[in-house]
Amino acid sequence: MRISRFAAATATIAASALVLSACAAPQSEVVEGSSITVAWNQPFYSYNSNTSFGNATANANIVYLTSGGFNYYNNEPALVKDESFGTYELVSEDPLTVKYTIADDVQWSDGTPVDAADMLLAWAANSGVLNTPDFDPGEFTDPETGEFTDDYPTDVVYFDGAIGAGLQLVTETPEIDGKSITLVYDEFFVDWELVFGVGLPAHVVAQRALGIEDAQEAKDALVEAVQNADAAALAPISSVWNSDWNFTELPAEEDANLLVVNGPYKITDFVADQSITLTANENYRGENLPNIEEITIRFISDPLAAVQALANGEVDIISPQATADVADALAALDGVTVLGGEEAVYEHFDLTFENSKNGTFDNPLLREAFLKTIPRQQIVDTLIKPLNPEAEVRNSQLFLPGAAGYDETVANNGMAEKFGEVDIEGAKALIAEAGVTDPAVCILYASNNPRRVNEFALIQASAQEAGFVVEDCGSPEWGGLLGTPGAYDAVFFGWQSTSLGVTNSSSTFRTGGINNLNYYSNPQVDALLDELDVTLDPERQIEIQLEIDKLLMDDFYGVTIFQFPAVTAFSDRVTNVNPGPLSPTIFWNAWDWEPTESN
């Protein structure tokens, strides 16, 4: 499933790498020879989860386990500072000025120190400040794969980073000093604590982009390129940053530097479409030393297959998409602990406003008509209530059910009123008014996910009754296609929340936001998001979000469907599995997992 772009921006800071002081490496706590296997429902395919292509939970999980950061969320959820990786200081509120400092001895897995060059690269990549103006990468994106084509120009600077998540407000090149960087914001940003961290290794990026062998020389060249806005050097640097870390199997020996990380684990094996193996990083200098030496993550898309693998002892931890069959199958297992609840993930159906396959939803009448056909209540009754009898249709793009403002927005935004029930006749009338015959709608979804296959069947049957021609554009590689021009007209998947930040939705609904996958644009929404970014008053924050929620529905943006029911199960070979509601859910405290005598 995709994660929110705001979340992607914090993925690099959300890694749980705590660092001990002193010069010597801490005594290892790893249990030699210990190993466990975890099942996940989507293969890993990119180590750079801050790009539009790599922005997926399946990728962010691996980044989290192998990266250090300034803070992370625990399972309460509460933000925990990781001061042994580094510290950050609010120097000034006007102008907002924040200084970040990497702790002594923090290093990449190849022994290269983590320092200000790495943070300067993170700013350059995720602020967009150095990007070539008016460059449109959509012209060079393959609609079949979502990756950039061979025709991608070599003379443009374009970092496909987490634009819109806050760093775009830092337009002046930050000052650096050794292991420190100071960010000065043009305006106050309410969620400043959540938007910055170390991403890819600067020395490796520069080595690959500029052909420089020595790590320090490579860093120096990258710093010089950023500070001087040297487009000739930044063009290959941005291209390498965008694309080189996309890989679906273990890189060849000559590309081994793609595996350089700074967290508790490092990637040691990767079999395409099968599994990825992480091993404790001997060069990790954090306090959160892992107990388990090796974690293998198997890619199992079918939830029942994951349960069967757990029953067979092939995997030790699973967190599949919950269904009634999954619940029944888990109840029959011995030696397994099952945890339930509700995830901070919600299913949503979005319409594409521009760059779609058929152009159907360029017409607002057809957008409204299609939303009238989506059988949201039937989906919840059929697929979710067997797991959670109290489950209800979610009726807000911004508010979590039960949170302050949710009831008010449901009464105000029009989602429940206009699209609470299927209205085939109303949809037919709107199609007729639009003067279109047999409007085509290509729907993208995860075709290897049984629940999503069932959802698509229900949506297709209902929409076709109204006169839409619904094309099955489902794909196992759906994640990499999100936001790809010309690939589809509509899509449904789950947004995974990874923070409690009030600006969490900014890069999703903002014009040009890195998480704006359906090319939505409304100047009023943009202005409200700008205000939300700098608003500290909680009451006004809610008022702004209420206004945005209604504007989205007035534009027939899409609809939300349900909050995910959660299920995690683990065998008696491992303890201390305590999933949290935010991404990375089961992995947030992987360093605390302990093997039992059964391991």
Residue with tokens 């049957």: 461
DSSP-assigned states of every residue in 442-498? EEE-BTT-HHHHHHHHHHHHHHHHHT-EEEE--BTTHHHHTT-TTS-SEEEEEEEP-
3-state SS assignment for residue 583: coil
Spatial distance between the Cα atoms of 422 and 249, rounded to a whole number of angstroms: 44
Q: Which pLDDT belongs to residue 16? A: 24
CATH 3.10.105.10 fits 343-563, yes or no: yes
Query: Is the CB of residue 358 less than 8 Å from the CB of residue 440?
Result: yes
Q: How confident is the model at residue 123 (pLDDT cuts 50, 70, 90)?
A: very high
Which of 93-97, 454-458, 510-514, 585-589 shows the lowest per-residue confidence on average (mean pLDDT)? 510-514
Q: Which pLDDT belongs to residue 562? A: 93
- Mean pLDDT score, 517-523: 95
Res. 546: pLDDT tops 50: yes
Spatial distance between the Cα atoms of 336 and 572, rounded to a whole number of angstroms: 6
3-state SS assignment for residue 183: strand
Q: How confident is the model at residue 107 (pLDDT cuts 50, 70, 90)?
A: very high
Res. 578: pLDDT tops 80: yes
Domain ranges in the chain are 5-24+50-259, 268-342+568-595, 343-563
Distance of CA 394 to the CA centre of its chain: 21
Burial (CB count within 10 angstroms: exposed 0-12, middle 13-18, buried 19+), residue 12 = buried
- Angle separating helix axes 303-311 and 450-466, nearest 10 degrees: 160
Q: Which pLDDT belongs to residue 344? A: 76
Using CA atoms in the order 321, 327, 333, 336, what is the torsion angle rounded to 10 degrees? 60
- Mean pLDDT score, 540-553: 97
Please indicate whether the domains covering 268-342+568-595 and 343-563 agree at the CATH topology level: no
pLDDT in tens, 431-466: 999 999 999 999 999 998 888 999 999 999 999 999
Res. 510: pLDDT tops 70: yes
Res. 19: pLDDT tops 70: no
Res. 369: pLDDT tops 90: yes
| Residue 2: other Cβ atoms inside 10 A | 23
pLDDT in tens, 475-486: 988 888 888 889
Query: Is the CB of residue 544 less than 8 Å from the CB of residue 535?
Result: yes
Spatial distance between the Cα atoms of 304 and 314, rounded to a whole number of angstroms: 14
Spatial distance between the Cα atoms of 405 and 548, rounded to a whole number of angstroms: 12
Average pLDDT value for the chain: 90
pTM value is 0.84
Q: How confident is the model at residue 289 (pLDDT cuts 50, 70, 90)?
A: very high
Spatial distance between the Cα atoms of 37 and 33, rounded to a whole number of angstroms: 13
- Mean pLDDT score, 557-582: 92
% of residues, the chain, pLDDT over 70: 95
Q: Which pLDDT belongs to residue 79? A: 92
Q: Taking the domain 5-24+50-259, which CATH number applies?
A: 3.90.76.10
Q: Which two tokens stand for residue 172?
A: 């002046």
Q: Which pLDDT belongs to residue 483? A: 86
% of residues, the chain, pLDDT over 90: 73
Spatial distance between the Cα atoms of 412 and 400, rounded to a whole number of angstroms: 15
Q: Which pLDDT belongs to residue 24? A: 32
Greater model confidence, 86 or 84: 86
Res. 201: pLDDT tops 60: yes
Spatial distance between the Cα atoms of 23 and 35, rounded to a whole number of angstroms: 29
Residue with tokens 């090319």: 519
Q: Which helix (H) or strand (E) holds 533?
A: helix 523-533
CATH 3.40.190.10 fits 268-342+568-595, yes or no: yes
pLDDT in tens, 376-386: 999 999 988 88
- Mean pLDDT score, 525-546: 94
3-state SS assignment for residue 46: strand
Q: How confident is the model at residue 496 (pLDDT cuts 50, 70, 90)?
A: confident
Q: How confident is the model at residue 598 (pLDDT cuts 50, 70, 90)?
A: low
Res. 100: pLDDT tops 80: yes
Res. 263: pLDDT tops 70: yes
Q: How confident is the model at residue 142 (pLDDT cuts 50, 70, 90)?
A: confident
